[in-house]
A and B are shown apart, each in its own frame.
Chain A
Amino acid sequence: GAGVSQSPRYKVAKRGQDVALRCDPISGHVSLFWYQQALGQGPEFLTYFQNEAQLDKSGLPSDRFFAERPEGSVSTLKIQRTQQEDSAVYLCASSTSGVAKNIQYFGAGTRLSVL
């Protein structure tokens, strides 16, 4: 019944490796968001899905970042050829529908360290 679930909680990657981060939103939530949070900063928007459609990917920092939500529920954020500057906490959030005032519920995040 739970909230937003993210896995893995921690990921250590060597520079140049590919990583995949998973988000399982609250059941029935139409909207899904990915954020990147660097140390000492607030979360920064990466991308947004409404069901399976990726409606906004303007926050993805480079073409090494790719997100998908093929069946409109679970989403995966993939980072190819990781760089040290990719080290951050990646947060996933979901909400009931794509309305500005709707509350977003966050998962506990995946802490990515690129060595």
Chain B
Amino acid sequence: RKEVEQDPGPFNVPEGATVAFNCTYSNSASQSFFWYRQDCRKEPKLLMSVYSSGNEDGRFTAQLNRASQYISLLIRDSKLSDSATYLCVVNLGDSWGKLQFGAGTQVVVTP
């Protein structure tokens, strides 16, 4: 079983709609959580960190549920430029920042 699991999608979303997806992680000692965005054939880039109380960054909202060990990402008012693969990323509890990535959820926003 993988440490971080995601629905690969694709999630096909009309422009302007809302889309949400989760990932689950298996290591209860995980300390830090992130969503990274990766465009086709590009490097991963940090979208947002995920905090215990949940946090919002513009049209993006991230939630963390430690009890059930899942993280969610919600995108409101989807734009064509939101089309990408969203990687769920977990720090496994090592002190120095070793990250475990999910395989990604593909989002395709259509006109």
Mark A residues whose CB is within 8 Å of B: 31, 33, 35, 40-45, 48, 50, 55-56, 91, 95, 98-109
Contacts and interface: CB of A to CB of B under 8 A. Distances in A.
Given A43-B101, A100-B91, A101-B31, A108 B43 contact: yes
B98 A45 contact: yes
Interface stretch (B44-52, B56-64, B67-75): B44-52
Which of A50, A98, A100 gathers the greatest number of chain B CB atoms within 10 Å? A100
Interface of B: 4, 8, 31-32, 34, 42-46, 49, 87, 89, 91, 93-104
A45 B100 contact: yes
A44 B103 CA distance: 10
A42 B25 CA distance: 14
**Which secondary structure dominates where chain B touches chain A?**
loop
A103 B99 CA distance: 10
Contacts of B89: 42
B97 A42 contact: no
27 contacts: A33-B97, A33-B98, A42-B87, A42-B103, A43-B44, A43-B87, A43-B99, A43-B101, A45-B100, A48-B96, A48-B98, A50-B96, A56-B94, A95-B97, A98-B97, A99-B97, A100-B31, A100-B32, A100-B97, A101-B32, A102-B97, A103-B34, A103-B49, A106-B44, A106-B45, A108-B42, A109-B43
